[in-house]
Each structure stands twice: as structure tokens, then as C-alpha cells.
Amino acid sequence: MRFSIPIRVYIEDTDAGGIVYYVNYLKYMERARSEFLRACGFEHRELLQQDILFVVHKSTVHYKKPATMDEALVSTLWIKNQAKVRVIFQQTIARQSDGEVLCEAENEIACVRYSDKKPQRIPAQLREGFATISGKNAQTHFESDK
Amino acid sequence: MRFSIPIRVYIEDTDAGGIVYYVNYLKYMERARSEFLRACGFEHRELLQQDILFVVHKSTVHYKKPATMDEALVSTLWIKNQAKVRVIFQQTIARQSDGEVLCEAENEIACVRYSDKKPQRIPAQLREGFATISGKNAQTHFESDK
Amino acid sequence: MRFSIPIRVYIEDTDAGGIVYYVNYLKYMERARSEFLRACGFEHRELLQQDILFVVHKSTVHYKKPATMDEALVSTLWIKNQAKVRVIFQQTIARQSDGEVLCEAENEIACVRYSDKKPQRIPAQLREGFATISGKNAQTHFESDK
Amino acid sequence: MRFSIPIRVYIEDTDAGGIVYYVNYLKYMERARSEFLRACGFEHRELLQQDILFVVHKSTVHYKKPATMDEALVSTLWIKNQAKVRVIFQQTIARQSDGEVLCEAENEIACVRYSDKKPQRIPAQLREGFATISGKNAQTHFESDK
């Protein structure tokens, strides 16, 4: 089960090589995670007020082909694994026109306290929200998490 | 006659002050100009291939109130004045919820050759495109341009 | 009396036009303000802990010539005017090689409370710090500020 | 043999979490690669004119601890492996004060033609430059590269 948002490449995203500056794919991926969170009924703003912050812990990114100025892209995610404190997202950035994947990544996100940046359990309501969107597979991961 | 696009505030847009990093309003404004260009039937990509580049020549920006994480905004533009080589855009960033303007600016854009960055006339097709979207007022400016 | 820092153009600063993406000049200018603050004995980090945040209120920017990849630049500021709540900085970005000014701006900075973003007086210690660096002229402005 | 440059955290680098926005560590790493290139006698600007572009092909990044506003950091690199078309850089971002590593990454860089983005051999002069800076180990990699 996958979650996607459209992305448009603007001048701000490009570099002197004439293509999307590679770190910006990570921004496109985070936009998808933020919209996924919103689709689950949560926003960073209110989570911060509850002392909850999600931080990226590890990323493995494979830049396969460049995206260019003005291109219409799709930023897609699915949950590979969910544990008490961490969620692993599989993410891709693909061309909208032909679906070719330009960049793919595995991003491990940790839940920390905003106040002291120490790890904390992902709140139950959020885990349930993730599971709702992520479907049966994710739920299995959720249940097997010890 | 105005042209607007929706903008969502993401983490990438914020700073340690907990609000949108002020230079990012200028990115939101440029996205509106790029989408306006697209609505007129043009894209930067093809214009670059025709040796046409638009560069910002002058900006006067008034930052009135901060936008915050997750906020839904509207980026609006209208053409204040069009001349042979330059277009002056009036632009605002407003909250979607109540329409309050958070940032307003006047941006003067110049048309230059991509190859040597020298000023060049805005191609007639583009000026007509601008006029179509911008309505009678813009057309008047267009005609009175000497 | 002027304060300057060196700036190097990196890929992250450029766009598909092959030149520095124009909003990045504003980042170069803010780096100079941050280093000026540090030279005065202050850092944003500790000011935030004292509920002090500086925000840009108005900017007038004139982009004169493009800077290119790898170029060595100089970001310079001087204080044009200091009042209770606001400071107006004159700022330039110039090429290091020949001193040609590529971008110049007037940036009006306001002191606000970090907690509620309401205006507050610039703390006396900071105003004195600014005056020390800014020399006699700035001190005059400081004294005449009602 | 390692190559390092100092980095200062500015407001532009932070996010609403009050810490360095994680993708910006990748910018800090690229600045080190650009300065390393310059120390080897090359600049991106002239390489582009020779139709040579370096693009990041794969990144594995481990974000260990957050850097905060105003912090003084050190961006360090060394060459793990050099082949005909690719170079693998090991890179760290550490605090200057106590040397603690906040972020570490392995970045695989590919040499492509700027004009069509197809892979091309790293020019001999550049490989020799890399080897000079990188010392005996790198040279061994260089020689064993078939």
C-alpha cells in the first residue's frame, strides 16, 4: 500500500548542472512523509507542542537519473518496517509521464522528544494512524514489533 | 486580474525561529511566476533552449507576519507593469484560512539571453501570453510600452 | 565603518541558469549579520534562550550582476540606522577579485520576542555592541534614537 | 589522509526543530568535496566547460546527533575507493569543540558528461590530483583500478 504526492520541479530546486540539485530529492521525500502524516490525522506543528519530533536517523539514497527543470514528478512512500521508536520508509521519486524511478531511498525515522532530542516511543495513536494508511502488511509489522 | 497557487509549508521551509525562513517567501513567489508562465503556455526549460532566461532584477519585500510549520498559504501575483525587457509583478503570500497577507513584494523581472546574460526583448508570443492572463489592464500597459 | 566576511559560491547556491540563485544573496547577507552579531559578542542561540529573535521586516534588493559557480565573494554590511526596535543594514555582495558589487540591499531587521513574535526593544548591551563595531556614526544614530 | 574545512551553522541551515535541517549535512559534505577539488587544482566551473560534471550516485548517511544554531563544525573527507568513473568518499561532520561526529556518510560520486549526463572516465589529471592529496592509500586504489 503506497502513498503518493505530486511534485513540480522549480528553479529553486535546480543547480548549475541544469538538473535537480541532488539533496532536494530528500526534501521531496520529506514532503511525502509530512503529507502522509497529515493524511493519518497529524501535523508536525501539533506534535511539536506535544514534545514529539521525528528526525531522520539513516538514509540510503540511490540517485539513478536526473530530473530537470519544470518536470512533473511523483513522490511515493510505503512503510517497510515499524518499531517502537523508529519507522523505515521506502521512498521513490519518479517521473509522472512514464513512471521511471529517478531516485529511490530507504529512510529510517526516529521519534524523539523535541525538548531534549532523546528517543521516545511513537505514540499509539500515531502508530495506529500509520497502520490504517499502510494496510495489512504494515499492521503485521506493527504487531510483531517487540 | 490575479493568478494564485496554493503553497504548503514544509519543514524544509522553516528555521530555528519556528517560522518560515524569510527568504523562502521569495521561493513561494517564484513558484507562482513559474506556474503563471506555464498557464501562459511556456516553461523555463524550453525558453532556456531558445536562449531566454528571466532574472529578478529588483525586489522590495515587506515581511508582515510569520507563517508557521504546516500552514496552508496562497501565493498570488498580478502584473503591475510590462515593458520591452522587464515585467513588474506585485506578489503576496497570504494565509489560506483567513486571507491575511503575511508577505508582499514587488519583483521586477528582466529578460536576458541565457548565453551571455545580456538584456533582450521579451518575445512577442510571451508578451501576448502575459496579456491574455493579465486582462485588459495589462494589455494597456503592453500597448503603452515604448 | 564596515564589516565583511568572505563567501564562496558552491553548487548548492546555483540554479539551472548557471548562476547564483538570486534568493541566496539574501542568505549571504544574513551570514554577514550573524558574524557581525558574533563579533559584537552575541550569538542567535543564546539570544533565543533570552527570548530574543531578530526577524527581517523589509528588504529592498537590487540584483546587478550574476555571481557564478566557484566565485569568491565578499559580503559587507554597515548600519544605516538604529532605533529602539529596528536596525537598518546596508549590505553588498561583491566579487573579491575586482570589488564589483553584484547585489546590494537595504535590510530592516526588527527585534521580537521569540515566544510570541511581538516587537521588543533591542537590549542595551546589544545596542552598545552594535555601536562599538559601527563606530561614531552608528553611535550618533544610537544616541538620537527616541 | 584526510581533508577538512570549517563550517559554521547559520539560520538558513536550521529548521523548526531548532537543529540543523538534516539534508543540509549533505551540503556541508559537498562543500568539502568542492574545496578538495580546488586544493587538487580544479574547479567545477572550468570542468563544466570541459563537459565534465560530477554527480552523486549513491549516499548512505547516518545522522547521529543534531548540530545546533551557531555551532562551529568540521567537514572532513577521505577517499575510500577510486575507480575509472567513480570515487567513493567517506565523509564526516563533527563538532569543532570536542570532535564528536554528528553525521557520517559514504558518498559515491560519478563523473558524467555535462552535455548528455552519460558516464565518462575521470580525466587522468584529476585522478592524479586526487592521488596527490589522498596519499599512498588512494594511489594504491588508483593503480589497482581496472
Q: Say if residue D145's pLDDT is above 50.
A: no
Chains sharing 3 or more CB pairs under 8 A with chain D? A, B, C
Place of cell 500509520: A130
Backbone dihedral region for residue B117 (phi beyond 0: left; psi -120 to 50: alpha; all else: beta): left
What angle is formed at CA C112 by the lines to CA C106 and CA C115, rounded to 5 degrees? Answer: 145
Select which of B13, B15, B116, B145 is catalytic: B15
Q: How many CB atoms lie within 10 A of CB C40?
A: 19
pLDDT at C144: 34
- CB contact set of C88 (below 8 Å; sequence gap of 6+): C79, C80, C81, C82, C106, C107, C108, C109
Q: For this structure, is A15 an active site residue?
A: yes
Return the residue of C nearest to B25 by Cα: C23
pLDDT at A21: 96
pLDDT at A139: 37
B108, B58 Cβ separation under 8 angstroms: yes
Say which range, B96-100, B112-116, C35-39, C141-145, has the weakest mean pLDDT.
Answer: C141-145
Contact D23 A22 (CB under 8 A): no
pLDDT at D134: 59
The mean pLDDT of D88-108, rounded to a whole number, is 98
The three cell numbers locating residue D95: 563538532
Q: Which residues of B touch C (CB under 8 A)?
A: 16-19, 22-24, 26-27, 30, 44, 48, 53, 55-63, 65-66, 114, 117
Beta-carbon pairs below 8 A across chains A and B: 44
Q: Which residues of chain A have pLDDT under 70?
A: 132-146
Q: Say if residue C38's pLDDT is above 70.
A: yes
Select which of A15, A98, A116, A145 is catalytic: A15
Contact A66 D117 (CB under 8 A): yes
Task: Provide the CA B70 distance to its chain's centre, in angstroms.
Answer: 22
The shortest C-alpha distance from C131 to chain D (Å) reads 22
CA A114/CA A110 separation, integer angstroms: 12
Q: Say if residue C145's pLDDT is above 60.
A: no
pLDDT (tens digit per residue) in C42-56: 999 899 999 999 999
pTM of the predicted protein model? 0.90
Which of B7, B8, B9, B11 is the best residue to mutate to test the A interface, defined by the most A CB atoms within 10 Å of its own CB?
Answer: B11
The three cell numbers locating residue C55: 526577524
pLDDT at B134: 59
pLDDT at C14: 95
Beta-carbon pairs below 8 A across chains B and D: 31
What confidence category does residue C58 fall into, taking pLDDT thresholds of 50, 70 and 90? very high
What confidence category does residue D144 fall into, taking pLDDT thresholds of 50, 70 and 90? very low
- Structure ipTM: 0.88
Q: Say if residue D142's pLDDT is above 80.
A: no
Q: Say if residue C140's pLDDT is above 90.
A: no
Task: Return the bridge partners of B53, or none.
Answer: B112
CA A20/CA D116 separation, integer angstroms: 15
Contact A22 D55 (CB under 8 A): yes
CA distances from D41 to B120, C9, D81, D128 (A): 36, 17, 20, 11
A17, A19, A24, A26: CA torsion to nearest 10:
-110
Residues in A touching B27 (Cβ below 8 Å): 10, 12
The shortest C-alpha distance from A139 to chain D (Å) reads 27
Q: Which residues of B touch A (CB under 8 A)?
A: 8, 10-12, 27, 30-31, 34-35, 38, 43-45, 48, 68-70
Return the residue of A nearest to D117 by Cα: A66
Contact B44 C117 (CB under 8 A): no
pLDDT at B89: 95
Q: What is the mean pLDDT of each run of 10 residues along chain B (146 residues)?
A: 95 92 97 94 91 95 96 96 94 98 97 92 86 52 34
